[in-house]
Structure 1
Amino acid sequence: MSEPTTPSLPVTFRPGRTRAVLLTVGLAMFVVITVVALMLERLAPGERVSFVFTAALFLGVLVLLSRPKVVADDEGVTVVNITRTRRLAWAEILRVNLRPGDPWVFLDLSDGTSLPALGIQPGIAKESAIRDARALRALADSRGAGVEAGG
C-alpha cells in the first residue's frame, strides 16, 4: 500500500456530494412548497405565509446538515459540525480514525476525548472519505502530538 500524500495547507475537507444533494433538495422543496402556496386560491394570506415559513424551516434544516467541514491549516484544524465549531492545535490530535462502519471520522484528542468530524463521512462518496481521512491522518502524524506519543 502506498504512503498517503500530505496535501498542501490550507485544505478543506467536506462531503461535497452529500452537500450538493442536501442543498439541491432543500432549494427544490422550498420552491415547490412556495409555488403551491401561491397557486392555491383558497388559502388566506396567513396560510400562505405559514406554507412559505414551513418551507424555509425545511431549507434551514438542510442547510445546517450541509454545514460540516474540516479545515486544516498551519496552526491546526477547525472542525465545523452541524451546530458547533471547534478549533484544535495539531498537538491536540493524537489519532484520526475512520473504521469500517463509522459514519464519519473521529479525532482522538490529547485530553482523552474523541471528537466527531462530520466533514469527512463515507456516506455517498466512500472512496473520497477514505482518501480525505488518510490525508488528514498524514497531516496529523507529521505535525501533531501523534509523532511524540507514538500514535
Structure 2
Amino acid sequence: MTSTDLPDLPVTWLPRRTRAVLLTASGVLATVFVVMALILPPSWQLNDRVMLVFLGLVFSGVGLMLARPRVDADADGVLVVNLVRSRRLHWAEILRVNLKQGDPWVTLDLADGTSLAAMGIQPSGGRDQAVRAALQLRDLVESRGAAPEPANA
C-alpha cells in the first residue's frame, strides 16, 4: 500500500456485520421483554412485570455495549473506543499496528511501552476487511507519526 492509497481523514473502522446483528438483537430483546410484561396473565404482579422490563433493558444494554467498539482516525490522531473505555491517541504515540493470524482484533504498540486493543478492527466481520483496515491504519501511523524519541530523553 502506498501513500496514495491512504484513506481520506476522518475515517472510522468498525465491525459492521457484528454491529448490525447486535443492534438488531438488542432492539428485539427490549421489545420482546416489554411485550411479555404487558401480555402476562393478570395473576402476575406489577413488580414481576417491572422486573421483566428491567431484564430486557439490561440484556439490551449488554448488546449495545458489545456494539460500541470502533476506531476513529482524524488529522490529530486516533480515538479507540472499546467495550467500556475510550482512549484518544496522538499519531506519535502509536509505534506499531498488529494483526496476527488468530488475533481477535488489532493491537496497537504504544510509545509508553504498553499495548492497546483496538476492538473496532476485528476479523470476525471478515478477515479481508480487517486486514485492509489494519493496513490502512498502519500506513496512516507511518505517514503521520513522528519518529520515536530516544529512551533517555
Q: TM-score of the superposition, structure 2-length normalised?
A: 0.91
Tell me what 1:40 maps to: 40
Q: What secondary structure does 2:124 align onto?
A: coil
Q: Distance in 2 between matches of 1:37 and 1:126?
A: 41
Q: Distance in 1 between matches of 2:91 and 2:20?
A: 30
User: Within 5 Å, which residues of 2 pair with 1:22-37?
Assistant: 22-37=22-37
Give the paired residue count: 146
Q: Distance in 1 between matches of 2:127 and 2:20?
A: 16
Q: Secondary structure at the match of 1:38?
A: helix
Distance 1:43 1:90 in 2: 57
Asked whether the 8 Å contact 1:107–1:114 carries over to 2, the reply is: yes
Which amino acid in 1 is paired with 2:74?
D
**Which residue does the alignment assign to 1:64?**
65
For 1:55, the equivalent position in structure 2 comes to: 56
CA-CA distance at 1:3 after TM superposition = 4.4
Q: TM-score, normalised by structure 1?
A: 0.92
**Gapped regions of structure 2 (runs ≥ 5):** 149-153
The secondary structure found in structure 2 opposite 1:49 is helix
Gaps of 5+ in 1: none
Runs of 4+ residues over 6 Å off in structure 1: none
Contact 1:78 1:86 in 2 (8 A): yes
- Larger mean CA deviation between 34-43 and 47-56 belongs to 34-43
Which letter maps to 2:99?
L
Whether the 8 Å CA contact 2:16–2:125 is kept in 1: the answer is no
Partner of 1:79: 80
User: Which whole-Å deviations, capped at 9, do the CAs of 1:35-93 have from their partners, x for residues lacking one?
Assistant: 12211113111110100000000001110110111110111101111111111110010
Note if contact 1:37-1:43 (Cα within 8 Å) is conserved in structure 2: no
The CA RMSD measured in Å over matched residues stands at: 1.3
How many percent of aligned residue pairs carry the same amino acid? 53
Rounded Cα–Cα distance in structure 1 between residues aligned with 2:130 and 2:60: 25
Letter in 2 for 1:39: I
TM-superposition CA deviations, 1:109-143 (whole Å, max 9, x none): 01111000011011132221111111101100111
More deviation in 16-25 or 120-129?
120-129
Instruction: Work out the CA distance in 2 between the residues paired with 1:111 and 1:65.
Output: 28
